[in-house]
Each structure stands twice: as C-alpha cells, then as structure tokens.
Structure 1
Amino acid sequence: MDIGKPARPRTLGVMRLSTVILPVRPWRTGGRDEWLRAEQLGFHTAYTYDHLSWRSFRDGPWYGAVPTLTAAAAATERLRLGTLVTSPNFRHPVTLAKDLISLDDVSDGRITLGIGAGGTGFDATALGQEAWTPRERADRFAEFVPLLDRLLSEGSVTHEGAFYSAVEARNIPGCVQRPRLPFAIAATGPRGLKLAARYGQAWVTTGDPKLFETGTPEQSLEAIAGQIDKLAKACADTGRKVEELDKVLLTGFTPDRGRPLESLDAFVDFAGKHIELGFTEIVVHAPIPDSDFAADQAVFERIATEAPAQLGG
C-alpha cells in the first residue's frame, strides 16, 4: 500500500470526521497500514476500543488498546488518537493514569480519553468478579472519573475511596496537554451526564440502545435530541454552557446500522441531520470484512475525502 503524505484533518463545517479502528489486525500485517491510511485520508481522530475481547470478535485476534495506540502514535504525525471507550471494568485509575501520560508523551499531545461506565460484556467478568449492576457501575464511575482527573492534573495524589485508592501516586511531569488530556465521556443517564458536564471536554453517545432493533431513524434522532437536552441541563447545573462540550456520535448502533456507509449520499444525509442536532464529531468504523462492520472500502474512503466538501467543510 502506498501510504503517501498524510492530509490535514478535515472538518465538516462545525463537525469533525473520525474513525474507529478495531484492534483485530496484527501490526506487521495490516495494522500499521490501517492507522497510517486513516491519517492520509484526513480523519480528525482514530480511536480504538479498549476491551479485553468484544462480541463476535471474541474468538479471533484482539490486541490491547494501550500498546496499539502507542504504536500508532509512533507511526503517525498529525492524527489524534484515543480510546472509545475505556471503562472501570478492568482498569484502575492509578495505573491507567500512568499509561495515559506516557501515551500523551509519545504522541506529543495527541491523545483523547474516551471513557464510559462499562457494560455487561466479556470485560465485566474477565477478572473473576460478578458483573456489576447498572447502579454499581455508576457508583464506580462516579469515583473513577474525578480521581483520574486528579491523577492526570496533580503531581502527587492520595485518595481513599469506596472503590479506588491512591497513596502518593506520582505522575510527573504530567500530560503534554494542559491541564490534562481531554476526556470524552460516554453517558446517557443523569449521573453520567453530570460527570460529562463537570469533567468532560466532549460527550459521546451511540444513540438510544432501546431503538436499535425496532426503532426508526426518525425516532433515533428524537431520542438523541432528548439526550442533548439532558446534557444541556446537566451543564447548566454545573455552571457550564453545553456549547463548551464537543458532541461525538459513534455510528453503527442506531436503527440506521451500517446504511450511512452504503454510499456517499447516504452518509451526507445522515451526517447532515446530526449536524443539525449539534454534533461536532461523527465517528465511523473502519471496514472489517465478514463482520458487523463490513463495508465497501472504496465507499468508506470516498466518505473520508469527499463528504467534508459536501457538508461545508
């Protein structure tokens, strides 16, 4: 593959176009080229999932997020990089903070931490614990995020909490990005939205999961608009304006499923409707053949290179 010179990240009017590269390809036989290609195509950010394994990919190759992002940071020049998302399911704030400041250093300040409360998938029980209830996940997340904020912003942190502790945990010299690298917080419930409003530089949604199987695209847009209204209230309650937060849509989990990647026109229509709701970043999955994320690579690349102009970028 001729990787060529990377393009400048493209902006879709007030919206950025990013991608998710699932860590399923060995670095030496396709993985590296995929991250370089994302930079060449002009994506704003390339994210990866931070799981131990995931859904239909459980019985196949699946590499770690932190080593993958470290390699991608060394291989690329301008592409922002990040997780979408990390969760407390198998992470601890103290060790995660050390990995993140190291990633921010290697990338020269190009890391975004996408972070959420986690779910009930394989990660939830891989360390031998019982899967947490939604309330238990929310309780841990409410302690995890503020502690991680401190660990990435302060030179030495001591904290004794209900779930996480730190004793003189040192993270010197801290992040390249100041006061710390940005948080993109995935949340739809009131407690998570409050955390996004208080600590987030961005908010992430995949839409309303209750509509995935039987809902319509119109119902999805209405539900997402309702989520943004709740985010605005949470921001107001903390003294922030909702416009201060980037709004990120991870595609592939709305009733549209993969249809926005079927053609350039379909994507432009889909993205335009979400721009109107206030989204500033749309994230599309890099194609993986014979999977839920199968798509035509040529269409995917046309979307990356041609959609920005059609959307006013």
Structure 2
Amino acid sequence: MTMRVGVVMLPADPWPQAQARAQHLERLGFAHLWTYDHLSWRRFRDGPWFGAIPWLTGMAAATTRIRLGTLVASPNFRHPVTFAKDALTLDHISAGRLTLGIGAGGIGFDATVFGDEVLTPRERADRLADFLEVLDGLLSTPTYSSENHRYPVVAAQNIPAPVQQPRIPFLVAAAGPRTLGLAARFGQGWVTFGRR
C-alpha cells in the first residue's frame, strides 16, 4: 500500500515564488497540491490573496504530474454553472489532474461579501445539497437543465466533456450526518477538519 501525501499552499505569495515552490514540491514527489478557495483568509484579509481557479490554472501550466485541487470551494460566492465551466476548463488545461474539494461554506467574509445574511448550519447544508446536485449534473451531461429552486439551469452547455470521466472527482467537506450523506452520495472522497 502506498500513501500519497499532498500540500496546501495559500494563494498569497507572488507568482514567481509560488510557481517555484509548486515545481519543487512536484520534484520532491508530492502527490497533490491544494489551495483554499476563499476571497480572503483570516490574517491575510488586508494583504495579497489570489483567486483559486486562476491560481490553479497557473499551477497546471507550471507542473506536469502533481494533482491540483480546491480545499474547499463553496456556494458562499460560487454558482454551479460558472464554477462548472471554470472546472471543466481547468480539467482540460491540467490534462485531468483536477479534484474539486467542495463544502457548505463558513460564516466569515466569504459568506457576507454579497450582503447576504449568515446562514444557519442547516441552511448551508441545504444549499450545499443543491449546489452538489446541480454541479454533478453540469459536469456529467453535455447539455444540462434543472428546476432546482436555488439554482435553476436552462440548457447549460458543457462541451467538451471533462477529461476525467464520468466527471471531475469531488471531495466533499463534511462534519455532520447531513453533509456526510452528501459526501457518500456525490463524493469520491471526504474532507474533514476534526473537532475544535
């Protein structure tokens, strides 16, 4: 049995430094490279912080073997239609090295940046269920429509299909019974952060 080890890099460093670090990690044999998909992060709130998808796209161009992923993307500021298109594009640029870590979203800056009310854990889990259902459909079907009450979709085109079939793998962040059920239903893996 082989253990694969990965690294989380925050998208906060200048690009030449971040790119060199990722290439060094790949040479060392790390299996995967993750980054946080937030608009800012805790102590970095007033400093540099780059978008996860463009950052991962740069990493896809700078590396050849290491898997890449979000840890984790959330519906706090993502919509499944645009996120599916970005993920599909990144899956092609990376030659099938993308994994999508997806969670319900927290209660910090990302949750309130659009002026929305902070959702309860139950409301965030409900929203995650809708997000995963629609994202799964978008990445599994060339033309997708949904009457989902939160994320209605009319004939969204996702052509070409993802490199990875039947779709890009999901790792679902889960800490309770409801989200663990979503991880079992939609995920190819599970992300946990343990108890605080």
- Aligned-residue identity in percent: 60
**Quick one: which amino acid aligns to residue 201 of structure 1?**
Q
**Quick one: which amino acid aligns to residue 35 of structure 1?**
A
The equivalences for 1:245-256 within 5 A come to none
Quick one: which of 140, 147, 158 aligns to 2:127?
140
Structure 1 residue aligned with 2:14: 26
Quick one: which of 25, 39, 48 aligns to 1:52?
39
Structure 1 residue aligned with 2:67: 80
Structure 1 residue aligned with 2:57: 70
Structure 2 residue aligned with 1:159: 146
> Paired residues, what number?
196
**Is the 1:196–1:202 contact (alpha carbons within 8 Å) kept by the matching residues of 2?**
yes
Residue 166 of structure 1: how far off its partner (Å): 0.8
Partners of 1:188 and 1:133 in 2: CA distance: 14
Structure 2 residue aligned with 1:297: none
Partners of 1:174 and 1:49 in 2: CA distance: 25
Structure 2 residue aligned with 1:181: 168
Partners of 1:143 and 1:14 in 2: CA distance: 35
Q: Larger C-alpha radius of gyration, 1 or 2? A: 1
Residue 14 of structure 1: how far off its partner (Å): 4.3
Per-residue CA deviations over 1:242-292 (Å, capped at 9, x if unaligned) read: xxxxxxxxxxxxxxxxxxxxxxxxxxxxxxxxxxxxxxxxxxxxxxxxxxx
Residue 121 of structure 1: how far off its partner (Å): 1.2
Residue 66 of structure 1: how far off its partner (Å): 0.3
Aligned partner of residue 49 in structure 2, secondary structure: coil
Residue 105 of structure 1: how far off its partner (Å): 0.2
Structure 1: which 4+ aligned runs deviate by more than 4 Å?
none
Residue 15 of structure 1: how far off its partner (Å): 2.7
Partners of 1:26 and 1:128 in 2: CA distance: 30
Partners of 1:87 and 1:132 in 2: CA distance: 13
Structure 2 residue aligned with 1:197: 184
Aligned partner of residue 101 in structure 1, secondary structure: helix
**Quick one: which amino acid aligns to residue 85 of structure 1?**
V
**Is the 1:52–1:62 contact (alpha carbons within 8 Å) kept by the matching residues of 2?**
yes
Quick one: which of 5, 15, 29 aligns to 2:3?
15
Partners of 1:37 and 1:184 in 2: CA distance: 25
Aligned partner of residue 32 in structure 1, secondary structure: helix
Q: TM-score, normalised by structure 1?
A: 0.62
Partners of 2:2 and 2:175 in 1: CA distance: 23
Structure 2 residue aligned with 1:172: 159
Aligned partner of residue 4 in structure 2, secondary structure: strand
The equivalences for 1:1-313 within 5 A come to 13-28=1-16, 30-209=17-196
Unpaired segments ≥5 residues, structure 1: 1-12, 210-313
Partners of 1:198 and 1:65 in 2: CA distance: 25
Residue 16 of structure 1: how far off its partner (Å): 1.5
Unpaired segments ≥5 residues, structure 2: none
Partners of 1:177 and 1:67 in 2: CA distance: 20
